[in-house]
Chain A
Amino acid sequence: MSKIFQHLVSSAVPVPIENIDTDQIIPARFLKATTRDGFGENLFRDWRFEADNTPKADFVLNNPIYSGKILVAGKNFGCGSSREHAAWAIADYGFKVVVSSFFADIFKNNALNNFILPVQVSEDFLDKIFKAIENDPKAAIEVDLENQFIKINATGEQEKFDINPYKKTCLLNGYDDIDYLLSLRSEIETYEASRPFNF
């Protein structure tokens, strides 16, 4: 897992479905591993494969026309279970960015903690990206974290996106939350000593 994200130009893989929950991203029966590796092969398992493991030809990940490091999905992406395995599966498959018009909270945190950038765009801009990919499956999309914009290179259309400054710093530099929290040790102990209750 690369611990840095700064800038990317890539074609994108479209999954224009709303409310994609983490059970679709990685079904529960694949959560039995005790490491973070290898979840990519089961990403979107039941949309991607028949029960007998033959690929479903109509699913986008099985269509060689589409490839790239950007996943573009309908609104409310990543709802449901808190399983971080969903973020691991997306990262392990090779995606660096997920674009949607709306993300579920826990998924967003999990993605950021795995150096995957969730880019939230307007409904309009999401439609434009889907159209750009429809016109040209290899359409290049540029994502610039430092300047917080996403751009459809063919048309030059772009939109700014939000990210909180702390997480931006983490991604640009490869810092993680535990490094920061461990640096607060004495503040944590001071807080504990100030608590009126033992719980």
Chain B
Amino acid sequence: MGKTLFDKIWDGHIVMSKPGYPDAVYINTHFIHEVTSPQAFDGLRKRDIPVFRPGKTRATADHNVPTMDQHLPIKEALSRHQVEMLTKNTAEFGVELYGLGHPYQGIVHVIGPELGITLPGMTIVCGDSHTSTHGAFGAVAFGIGTSEVEQVLATQCILQYKPKRMKIEVNGTLKNGVLSKDIILYIISKISASGATGYFVEYAGEAIRSLSMEARMTICNMSIEMGARGGMIAPDETTFAYIKGREFAPQGEAWDKALAFWQTLYSDADAQFDVVLNFDAADIEPQITYGTNPGMGMGITQHIPALSQLDEKEVPSFKKSLDYMDLQPGAPLLGKKIDYVFIGSCTNSRIEDLRLVADFVKGKQKAEDVVVWIVPGSKQVEAQAKAEGIDKVLMEAGFQLREPGCSACLGMNEDKVPAGMYCISTSNRNFEGRQGPNARTFLASPLTAAAAAITGRVTDVRELV
């Protein structure tokens, strides 16, 4: 019987597998950042052991950095200390750091791919649940906790039980104005925020194949929002073309050898998945969430479910969620006034996202009472945006172009949406308080967010393009 892509990579990385024990899986690339690594380095110190393979870990500062005046010392003392600890720890243990001021600095899941560090066939982990992003290259990539970060630093391995396998096929052709963000929000709304827990997902089908690498990253990024351990897409010519020539990508003979290997990375025709789901791209509208988990989403022209449409057991949590959002069951969202727009995060902050937004807003002005934050995913994205004149287009529209970081996706730095305000956000989570205490989040695509920035309301972008 054939093997799935996931099994090929997982099985190829097993250092030790014995009954009753989780697999000891070798990790090719480990990304770390300032928030989930300090306690892991402390653990190494307590055990008096070094980082086992320092060249296989790369660090950046992203979660907790300001997105203004990054050339100045960080004002907030705790944040400054945390970023300084990363500098100290990486220096002491010999790990390469792309910290503030470095031309490669940025959101960890943006810089790995753009630097050619993320490659097909790899195992990749990071103390961040959106590590699934790297699966877009046909890697087995997943988020881990800090104790596991310490395991990887100490041994370059991680102990994991092998998840089950799920295939999600999306066939057909996407409608105009529908982006890859809409595909993944649609899937999550159909299978719920826990619909893929325990599974590793492979996305397939012609609608997925037709996407660019950046669009594929958006899909894999949000795999965790349906509970999946990770998400991946088999590498193809689109993948290889994206990687070729990047800073750390293999070159010359090494490229040829790697390419020959990468071309074997696909699920065999007779490979067995534990679950297979099928969706039709033509059914997908621009999406928006209305609740406080990413599974609470719908087509932008639809109405929030009425209580009568729900299972009785779901009602208390559903009501709590809508109370928080100050929304009514059965109501539409189109036309709802919004206060903030956030375009950024590891989900949608890459150059293609900014290009799409710039093309759309060129010559338009943001609505007067809306604050618009555009936060590029990395210094390289920022530089590219400036080289293409995107910065000018955005600023002329009244948008604020800030410096790279996770920013208002999780509101760890000062980029917080004020209490009670509505933010339409290209990020990945609409949890209570995620963007700031009592802030209210609508998740959507960069185009839907840009449309709301112009009209000041939840808008069907298809009416404006």
Contacts and interface: CB of A to CB of B under 8 A. Distances in A.
A45 to B, nearest CB: 8
A183 to B, nearest CB: 10
B47 A82 contact: no
A187 B91 CA distance: 28
A15 B229 CA distance: 25
30 contacts: A17-B317, A19-B293, A19-B317, A21-B431, A29-B412, A32-B79, A34-B38, A35-B39, A35-B42, A46-B433, A46-B438, A76-B193, A80-B129, A80-B431, A81-B410, A82-B36, A83-B36, A84-B39, A105-B227, A106-B145, A109-B148, A113-B148, A164-B161, A177-B159, A178-B147, A178-B154, A182-B49, A184-B24, A191-B26, A199-B119
Which of A35, A102, A188, A196 gathers most chain B CB within 10 Å? Answer: A188
A92 interface: no
Interface of A: 16-19, 21, 23-24, 27-29, 31-36, 46, 51, 74-76, 79-85, 87, 102, 104-106, 109-110, 113-114, 164-166, 176-178, 180-182, 184-185, 187-188, 191-192, 196-199
A82 B26 contact: no
B431 A23 contact: yes
Given A76-B194, A84-B147, A110-B145, A184 B22 contact: no
B431 A32 contact: no
B177 interface: no
Contacts of A104: 194, 197, 227
Given A17-B320, A34-B85, A181 B64 contact: no
A115 B207 CA distance: 44
Contacts of A166: 20-22
A180 B21 CA distance: 10
B146 to A, nearest CB: 4
A110 B52 CA distance: 22
Given A51-B419, A83-B36, A102-B197, A23 B85 contact: no
Contacts of B419: 51
Interface string B423-442: 00000010111100110000
Contacts of B194: 19, 75-76, 79, 102, 104
Nearest to B428: A80
A176 B147 contact: yes
A59 B316 CA distance: 15
B127 interface: yes
Interface residues of B, number: 74
Nearest to B228: A105
A82 B145 contact: yes
Interface string B248-280: 000000100110010000000000000000000
Contacts, number: 185
Contacts of B148: 109, 113, 177
Contacts of B198: 105
A105 B257 CA distance: 36
B144 A82 contact: yes
A187 B36 contact: no
B155 interface: yes
Given A23-B431, A32-B79, A81-B410, 19 more contacts: A23-B434, A32-B78, A76-B194, A82-B129, A84-B36, A104-B194, A105-B227, A105-B229, A113-B145, A113-B147, A166-B20, A166-B21, A177-B159, A178-B47, A178-B150, A181-B158, A182-B49, A191-B15, A192-B26
B218 interface: no
A145 to B, nearest CB: 16
Which of A33, A35, A178, A184 gathers most chain B CB within 10 Å? Answer: A178
Contacts of B233: none
B246 interface: no
Nearest to B37: A34
Interface in B55-112: 63-64, 78-79, 81-82, 85
Contacts of A165: 20
Contacts of B39: 34-36, 84
Contacts of B159: 177, 180-181
B128 interface: yes
B437 A164 contact: no
B307 interface: no
A113 B39 CA distance: 13
B16 interface: yes
Contacts of A113: 145, 147-148
Contacts of A32: 35, 64, 78-79, 81-82, 412
B151 A188 contact: no
B277 to A, nearest CB: 19
A75 B194 CA distance: 9
B154 to A, nearest CB: 5
Contacts of B320: 17
Contacts of B429: 21, 23, 80-81
B237 interface: no
B332 interface: no
A80 B226 CA distance: 9
A31 B39 CA distance: 11
Interface string B6-42: 0000000001100011101010110000011011001
A33 B438 CA distance: 23
B421 to A, nearest CB: 14
Contacts of B205: none
